[in-house]
Homo-oligomer: A and B are copies of this chain.
Amino acid sequence: MTESALTPEQILRATEDVLRRYGPAKATVVDVARALGVSHGSVYRHFASKAALREAVTERWLDRAHRELAGITAEDGPAADRLHRWLLALFTAKRRKALDDPELFATYTALIGQTASTVVERHLETLVGQLAAIVADGVAQGVFAACDVRAAARAVFQATARFHDPCHAAEWTDPRTDADLEAVWALLLNGLAAR
């Protein structure tokens, strides 16, 4: 057994730990290397830059956090109900991450607004894609009005920004927030409905 093989996977796990411990502002590549008992030069053999490392960690984290959503997308069943549960699950997951995993959440938000943050863009496109799939099902089921499915998905995503965009994270502890999401959902459901 090659005890000492340094794998990207190991590095990512160590980076995640270091980020959680020190936060994105303080965490250094030297810290990561120290946690692994190697020189920091070794880390650069596997990741081109500190930024690339942070992005890779964030990508894994996002994938894990939102796996549940893909499940709802793939389900059969009434589209309206699935859309409702999808939006709730997205909000719940985001809020939980913001509260339970603040340092990785901060790492994610720091990535936003970065020039050429492919990871965040891809993540958002994935989410809108999942929404579009559910909306398309709804149209096929005859419960949603025929429309440009992609545009409708985008509109739903933007109309619920208050409940998933990290720039609103501070508002998520407001006790009215759950009721607010339901109110917006009622409006959107009505807006999408076939008549």
Contacts and interface: CB of A to CB of B under 8 A. Distances in A.
Contact of A180 (B154, B168, B190, B193): B154
Given A187-B188, A191-B187, A158 B170 contact: no
A80 to B, nearest CB: 13
Contact of A184 (B113, B155, B167, B189): B155
A158 to B, nearest CB: 5
Contacts of A180: 154-155, 158
A184 B170 contact: no
A162 interface: yes
A90 interface: no
Nearest to A112: B170
A185 to B, nearest CB: 9
B158 A162 contact: yes
Contacts of A51: none
Interface string A151-189: 110111011111001011010000000001001101111
Contacts of A56: none
Interface in A57-73: none
A12 B92 CA distance: 44
A45 interface: no
24 contacts: A152-B183, A154-B183, A155-B180, A155-B183, A155-B186, A158-B184, A159-B159, A159-B160, A159-B162, A159-B184, A159-B187, A161-B162, A161-B168, A165-B167, A165-B168, A167-B167, A167-B168, A187-B187, A187-B188, A187-B191, A190-B192, A190-B193, A191-B191, A195-B195
